[in-house]
Amino acid sequence: MIELVDVSFSYDKNSYLEDISVSFEKEDITTIIGPNGCGKSTLLKLSSRILAPKNGKVLLYGQDISEMKRKAFAREVSVLMQNNLSPPMTVENAVLSGRYPYQAFGQLLSKEDKAIAEEAMKVTCCDSFRGKEMNRLSGGERQRVFLAMVLAQDTDIIFLDEPTTYLDINVCYDIMELIARLNREFGKTIILVLHDLNLALNYSHKMILMEKGKIISRDTPQNMAIGGSIGKVFGVSIKQVSNEGRSFFYYNKIT
Ligand SMILES: Nc1ncnc2c1ncn2[C@@H]1O[C@H](COP(=O)(O)OP(=O)(O)OP(=O)(O)O)[C@@H](O)[C@H]1O
């Protein structure tokens, strides 16, 4: 569905990601993991056209994404990056702005646009605070609204960079359940960056492990868990335990 072919990228004169070739499969939840600074967000930005590769290309259904028109791309792919600034508007208007890729210049929102935004607020449980200004929300509420904006955009592919950061454990699981539901019930293809290995293990179909700008491994969570690569890359020893149908990692720092 989305394929990176021999992609290289650098922020300055040193190459950062070099010759990355990887594909994200349709209707999978794919989680990118790896230590701080290994290039996870950069990979996400290159895949979602926020950054352009220095060499190589990114294909969406075989088409080079750099050649797609902005609105056409935004009807296929939505992105939620880290540290989003709150737009100076109410929750409801922020969610409605997710419909922008479907509006012709000067056109008003249609009944359908409003119904889709309404549903997005319902699914993410933001409808109860729809009249609040975005800058008056808690971190968890704001994250739900950003997810509602992504939902209102109604794309088949969703990129999420650390969607659970700063959230308490309860909200974290709510957000991950919502992501799983979007995938299961609406067939969304979801590619996300997570630091929490246990969330990654339990909610992903595929995991991609990165280290120093390279992809070290791409596998199912089950295979990733029993292979030794995660422990090596993070410098920890890992044990996997299962309880009530879920798997968990225990890890200890190797000294
Ligand atoms: N705008 C930028 N300009 C210059 N260097 C950058 C820029 N953004 C990121 N980098 C560098 O590129 C490397 C990869 O950064 P990236 O944000 O992709 O890592 P990450 O794996 O997502 O990290 P983290 O887990 O800490 O969020 C890092 O060394 C970082 O310092």
| Ligand 1 atom having least distance to the Cα of 38 | 21
Expressed in angstroms and rounded, the spacing between residue 167 Cα and the centre of ligand 1 is 22
Per-residue pLDDT at 15: 66
Whether complex ipTM tops 0.85:
yes
| Ligand 1 atom having least distance to the Cα of 162 | 27
The rounded distance, in Å, linking the Cα atoms of 143 and 127 is: 14
- Cα 16 to chain centroid distance, Å, stands at 21
Expressed in angstroms and rounded, the spacing between residue 125 Cα and the centre of ligand 1 is 32
Residue type (1 letter), 80: L
Per-residue pLDDT at 210: 96
**Spans of the chain, pLDDT less than 50:** none
The ligand 1 site (C-beta within 6 Å) comprises 11, 16, 34, 36-42
Which among 7, 8, 31, 40 is the best mutation to test ligand 1's pocket, defined by most ligand atoms within 8 Å of the CB? 40
Nearest residue (CA) to ligand 1, atom 31: 37
Per-residue pLDDT at 117: 94
Query: What global pTM score does this model have?
Result: 0.91
| Ligand 1 atom having least distance to the Cα of 193 | 22
Per-residue pLDDT at 159: 96
Which among 16, 193, 210 is the best mutation to test ligand 1's pocket, defined by most ligand atoms within 8 Å of the CB? 16
Q: Are strands 77-80 and 157-161 parallel, antiparallel or unpaired?
A: parallel
Nearest residue (CA) to ligand 1, atom 28: 37
The rounded distance, in Å, linking the Cα atoms of 192 and 176 is: 11
| CA-based R_g, the chain, Å | 19
Per-residue pLDDT at 157: 96
72 CB-near residues (< 8 Å, 6+ apart):
none
| C-beta contacts of 202-205 below 8 A and 24+ residues apart | 202/176, 202/246, 202/247, 203/29, 203/31, 203/176, 203/179, 204/29, 204/30, 204/31, 205/25, 205/28, 205/29, 205/30
The rounded distance, in Å, linking the Cα atoms of 205 and 6 is: 24
Per-residue pLDDT at 240: 78
